Structure 1
Amino acid sequence: MTLGWIQIARLGLVQAALGAIVVLTTSTLNRLMVVELALPAVLPGLLVALHYGIQLTRPQWGFRSDTGGNRTRFIIGGMAILALGGFGAACGVVLLQSSYWAGLALSILAYALIGLGVGASGTSLLALLASGTAPHRRAAAATITWLMMIFGIAMTAGVVGSLLHPYSPALLLKIVGAVSLMVCAVTLLAVWGIEARVTVQPEPEALPFREGLAEIWAEPRARAFTIFVFLSMTAYFMQELILEPFAGLVFGLTPGQTTSLSGMQNGGTFLGMLLVGIVATGLKRGALRTWVIAGCLGSCAALCLISLIGTLGIVALLSPLVITLGFFNGMFAVAAIGSMMALAGEGRTRREGTRMGLWGAAQAVAAGFGGLTGAALVDLMRLAQIGDAQAFGTVFTIEAALFIAAALMAMRIISRAPAHPYAVAGE
């Protein structure tokens, strides 16, 4: 028995819950550190890079869920750890105001827990989807679950942004605590009983983890796709930690306004994913390469325009352009995710969890590297007495160039095959 649409939608709720915690750390808490606490942007950049770096454990979480026969426990346990880390990160921001070193220590611990939680829960969830979904439904399942994740991110950012005005530390803790409890409850209800109804035969642990991972890496398609994921996701995440500080420092927006701006961006991402989901997986129109290239080039154009309005001080265009950036980001991302889901179930070893872990690790490293690099470059230019608008604009321009490079790589490695099923060159 395979996953039905209702079960797939239920698992999508877990993705939404996961995104709800992560968006608070990458948007709201990041902005509070840089603007309200006047800390260098590289500090939250390092903390977010830490949580992404710990996600290098994703292949091992996937391998364990492949061989352990119970992915549900990793999903629920990982979400509990993630929620604890999210609330701890909020406490760390509050503590930083009165005791820098104690707040920093708590923040490091909290972001480490976030990385462990995302790795355990997210990888096991994707492995359950890949192994339990019929091959002809995998691309659609990827679209549905990521749409729900982006919806959860956008909804959380928008609601928290509206509730966090006027800002106070006590209000921050109250809101983040409520979100943390809510995501745990949603996850428990969403996954309860699903795995028992799906025929998923765990593969015996015939090989040690390192040998199993090496076997996957030896597959040309898996290796090429891993490299593509790293490059494209570096471009995707480079503005993640600097967009809200940019809006606060250059345009003078409040914490609530910039959190709402993040919600608008993710709302645009939701619309971009929805478009690709309807046209590519529903109407079966267009090739994966077409959607990836269009998403990359559109993101490039939006970033260049955001850089321009920062220099010119045209605040009225900020929200529309941020939504546009999210829209093209969504087009690119859902096509890549569809490929990931389809390829995860292929290969002679059938180690879905290990493959998803490998690509998840590549994405995590790229996200940490991209986010940290963007924040560090802004700090360096501001230290060199370069104006805020020019400093942020330069990073946005670099990110735009990386999107062009990702589009060129997509032209080389992704096939012209129709978008359903998704395919990579060499299949």
Structure 2
Amino acid sequence: MTLGWTQIMRLGLVQMALGAIVVLTTSTMNRLMVVEFALPAVLPGLLVALHYGIQLSRPRWGFTSDTGGNRTVWIIGGMAALALGGFGAAVGVTLFEQSYGLALAVSVIAYALIGLGVGASGTSLLALLATTTAPHRRAAAATITWLMMIFGIALTAGLAGHFLDPYSPTRLLAVVAVVVGAAFVLTCLATGRIERGLQVTRQPDPAPFLDGLREIWAERRARNFTLFVFLSMNAYFMQELILEPFAGLVFGFTPGQSTSLSGAQNGGVFIGMLLVGIAGTGLKVGSLRSWVVAGCIGSAGMLGLIALAGTGGLTAPLTPLVAGLGFFNGMFAVAAIGSMMALASEGRSSREGTRMGLWGAAQAIAAGFGGLCGAAAVDVMRGFSADGPAFAAVFSVEAILFVAAALMARHILDPVPASATGTLVAGE
């Protein structure tokens, strides 16, 4: 027995819960530190890089869930750590007014828990999907679960932005407590008894972890896809830590308005993913390479417009531009997700979790590195230029990275039409 559509939707609820917590820690908390407390952008950049750095453990989590026989335990346990870390991050922010040292210590512990939670829960969830979803449903399952995650991010950002104004520490803690509590309860309900009765077509891998990881890296398709994930995610995440401070410092957005801006961006991601899901797998239009290239080039173009708006070279409201950026981000992301699901079960069997972990680790490294570089570059640029041009320079570099990702996609991804395979696949 494999996962039915109802069970796939239930696992999508877990992705939605993950996104709901993470968006508060990587956007709202970051903006409060930089704008309300006038801390250097590199500080939240380092904290977010810490949680991504800890996600280098993703291959190990995937290997553990491959050999342990019970992925649900790791999904729920990881969500518990993530929820605790998310609330701890909010506590740390509120302490900066009282004690910088105490606030920093609490924040470090909280973001470490966030990294552990996302690594354990997210990797085990993807591995469960890869091993218990019928092959003809994998692309659709990937699209559904990621759409639900983006929906959770957009919904949380929008509602949290509404309830955070006017900002106060008590209001922040109350909003975050509701979000993390609801996310944990939803995860428990969604995963309850879901593994019982499922036929998992794999045998525990007897090879040691490092040997298995080396063998996966030797697979050309897995290695090329890992390198593509690293480059494209560098471009994707470089603006993550600076977009909300940009909105506050250059456009005068309040904390609630800038949080809602994140909701608009992820709403655009949702629409972009939905478009590719319908056009690529429903209407059989386009290929992985064409959708990825279009998404990367479109993202670069929108970043150029945002940079112009920040310097006064373009008179346009910020929110539609950011939503447009999200739209093109979603276009390339959903094609990569479909490939990830398909490639996870290729090569030697019984290593789906380890492959997912490898790609998750590549994404985490890129996200941490890209986010930290973006934040540090803004700090440096603001030292000798106005806020608008400082942020615009970083957005321009990010646009160049997206163009490079598009060129890489043209070389390593095979232009196989979706209609030829029923899914979006990566090339040799």
Q: TM-score, normalised by structure 2?
A: 0.98
Equivalent residue runs for 1:313-392 within 5 Å: 316-383=316-383, 385-392=384-391
Equivalent residue runs for 1:168-183 within 5 Å: 168-183=168-183
Rounded to whole Å, the distance in 2 between the matches of 1:133 and 1:202 is 13
Counterpart of 1:405 in structure 2: which amino acid? A
Tell me by how many angstroms 1:355 deviates. Answer: 0.3
The equivalent residue for 2:404 is 405
> Larger deviation: 32-41 or 130-139?
130-139
The equivalent residue for 1:155 is 155
Tell me by how many angstroms 1:254 deviates. Answer: 0.5
Preserved contact between residue 251 and residue 313 of structure 1 (Cα < 8 Å)? no
In the alignment, structure 2 segments of 5+ residues that lack a partner are: none
Rounded to whole Å, the distance in 2 between the matches of 1:200 and 1:322 is 41
Rounded to whole Å, the distance in 2 between the matches of 1:114 and 1:255 is 22
Counterpart of 2:427 in structure 1: which amino acid? A
Rounded to whole Å, the distance in 2 between the matches of 1:97 and 1:344 is 47
The equivalent residue for 2:249 is 249
Rounded to whole Å, the distance in 2 between the matches of 1:315 and 1:141 is 41
Counterpart of 2:198 in structure 1: which amino acid? V
For the residue of structure 1 that corresponds to 2:317, the secondary structure is helix
Tell me by how many angstroms 1:168 deviates. Answer: 0.1
For the residue of structure 2 that corresponds to 1:197, the secondary structure is coil
Preserved contact between residue 305 and residue 314 of structure 2 (Cα < 8 Å)? no
Counterpart of 1:157 in structure 2: which amino acid? A
255 and 315 in structure 1: CA distance in 2 versus 1, 3 angstrom threshold: farther
Preserved contact between residue 75 and residue 121 of structure 1 (Cα < 8 Å)? yes
Tell me by how many angstroms 1:195 deviates. Answer: 1.0
Rounded to whole Å, the distance in 1 between the matches of 2:124 and 2:202 is 13
The equivalent residue for 2:423 is 421
Rounded to whole Å, the distance in 1 between the matches of 2:315 and 2:38 is 22
Rounded to whole Å, the distance in 2 between the matches of 1:69 and 1:376 is 43
Counterpart of 1:184 in structure 2: which amino acid? F
Preserved contact between residue 251 and residue 315 of structure 1 (Cα < 8 Å)? no
Equivalent residue runs for 1:173-252 within 5 Å: 173-252=173-252
Deviations 1:342-395 (A, max 9, x none): 100111233110000000000000000010000000001112x21100010000
> Larger deviation: 205-214 or 124-133?
205-214
Deviations 1:44-82 (A, max 9, x none): 000000000000000000000000000000000000000
For the residue of structure 2 that corresponds to 1:216, the secondary structure is helix
How many residue pairs match? The answer is 425
Preserved contact between residue 304 and residue 396 of structure 1 (Cα < 8 Å)? yes
Preserved contact between residue 234 and residue 366 of structure 2 (Cα < 8 Å)? yes
Tell me by how many angstroms 1:97 deviates. Answer: 1.4
Q: TM-score, normalised by structure 1?
A: 0.98
Percent identity over the alignment?
72
The equivalent residue for 1:117 is 117
Rounded to whole Å, the distance in 2 between the matches of 1:83 and 1:315 is 40
Deviations 1:104-136 (A, max 9, x none): 000000000000000000000000001111111
Tell me by how many angstroms 1:314 deviates. Answer: 5.9
In the alignment, structure 1 segments of 5+ residues that lack a partner are: none
399 and 67 in structure 1: CA distance in 2 versus 1, 3 angstrom threshold: same
Rounded to whole Å, the distance in 2 between the matches of 1:29 and 1:197 is 42
Counterpart of 2:425 in structure 1: which amino acid? A
